[in-house]
Structure 1
């Protein structure tokens, strides 16, 4: 009888140790998966590199949750006005930085793109000054219309300015909104859709810059 009790106590102790081990594994949270926007798409066939005038591209402005590494999503079928961060997925750098780097690289295929820190001197006349493209990021999130149907949405405002000795003068302003379907209803699918949205926005901005090539600053 005592031997059976000893055996039962041993089994109980082993079970408790197993439960404790499982609890320690469950309590130990895994680090979130880090995402970037991936490799750049190949250039269009026959594209002429740096055909346009030089362009200054300052850091992109953003506010609230967009100025962070949070990967945001929105459940339109529950609460269209609520942005939520993915718990186990984040961007590898703040969103404005990732978008700025990708847009800058894509726009630089058609023109010289420089940052504000690369301007070595204040131009003496408007004629010799590069144009400035200021971008304000207003939306960058994974939108769900239904549990199995979603898209990546990018929305930004672009302001094209002419720099000069008396300050910047407005040439044109335009808002862009791009939506790309997500291949899967998860963080990875949202990242892919948002990356494609940035690429599509770069093409639209490039076309707009070409359209405004001969535009003059507002008086």
Structure 2
């Protein structure tokens, strides 16, 4: 059926009005932008008493930690153990402030530094070398509603003797901490708690060698 002139004249302004309304809606509707949350371990645990470097404990050189390719970045990772435990997945909108191995090394340096001198690798004053390898650092879901933070860390202690380096001891530390919530925030809390526990264990282990 052919449109009359009056119908055509009516359609044009209605079409323009619709376009104008869409343009106005685009201007007034707030844009929802994804915000990435950045986390670190927070302040180091406060000591209950003042501490100072103890002369009886030898100076140590703490090397840059080593990691596998999956842990090189800043992603907060998780595994669905109930579905596919072999696959590591990153949370889309949550990141660590630096690679997790560096956060752990920083925490260990702080704790060791309360009782002994911690120096850069290669300094002559260091009697021992400490190397860390971070093997696992993820939130593991045993079910959709239940998860825990899992940390697996290997520490190697060596000493320079007559121009060569001799390995004195090596130990693996495995720590699990329950996640308070089954999400990225729960992962951060569980893994931070696991890291503080592991750092305390490494520090106590090193103290055995003075």
Q: Tell me, in whole angstroms, the C-alpha distance in 2 between the residues paired with 1:163 and 1:18.
A: 73
Instruction: Give the structure 2 partner of residue 91 of structure 1.
Output: 96
Unaligned runs of 5+ in 2: 1-5
Instruction: Give the structure 1 partner of residue 40 of structure 2.
Output: 36
Q: Does 1:103 align with 2:83?
A: no
Q: Tell me, in whole angstroms, the C-alpha distance in 2 between the residues paired with 1:201 and 1:182.
A: 16
Cα-Cα RMSD = 2.6
Q: Tell me, in whole angstroms, the C-alpha distance in 1 between the residues paired with 2:10 and 2:180.
A: 59
Instruction: Give the structure 2 partner of residue 57 of structure 1.
Output: 62
Structure having the higher strand fraction is 2
Tell me: CA distance 1:100–1:22, structure 2 relative to 1, closer, same or farther (3 Å): farther
Q: Does 1:153 align with 2:150?
A: yes
Q: 2:76 aligns with which of 59, 71, 78?
A: 71
Scaled by the length of structure 2, the TM-score of the pair is 0.84
Please give the per-residue CA displacement for 1:32-61, whole angstroms capped at 9, x wherever unaligned: 211111111112x34743232211111101
Q: Tell me, in whole angstroms, the C-alpha distance in 1 between the residues paired with 2:178 and 2:143.
A: 12
Instruction: Give the structure 2 partner of residue 125 of structure 1.
Output: none
Q: Does 1:9 align with 2:15?
A: yes
Unaligned runs of 5+ in 1: 122-127, 214-219
1:181/1:193 contact within 8 Å kept: yes
Q: Does 1:168 align with 2:165?
A: yes
Q: Tell me, in whole angstroms, the C-alpha distance in 1 between the residues paired with 2:93 and 2:159.
A: 43
2:108/2:203 contact within 8 Å kept: no
Q: 2:195 aligns with which of 192, 198, 206?
A: 198
- More displaced stretch, 134-143 vs 29-38: 29-38
Cα displacement (A) at 1:94:
2.1
Instruction: Give the structure 2 partner of residue 25 of structure 1.
Output: 31
Scaled by the length of structure 1, the TM-score of the pair is 0.80
Q: Does 1:187 align with 2:193?
A: no
Instruction: Give the structure 1 partner of residue 131 of structure 2.
Output: 134
Count of equivalent residues? 202
Cα displacement (A) at 1:186:
1.5
Q: Tell me, in whole angstroms, the C-alpha distance in 1 between the residues paired with 2:164 and 2:30.
A: 61
Structure of higher CA gyration radius = 2
Please give the per-residue CA displacement for 1:63-93, whole angstroms capped at 9, x wherever unaligned: 2121111111111111111001111111112
What SS does the corresponding residue of 1:190 show, helix, strand or coil?
A: helix
Q: Tell me, in whole angstroms, the C-alpha distance in 2 between the residues paired with 1:55 and 1:158.
A: 13
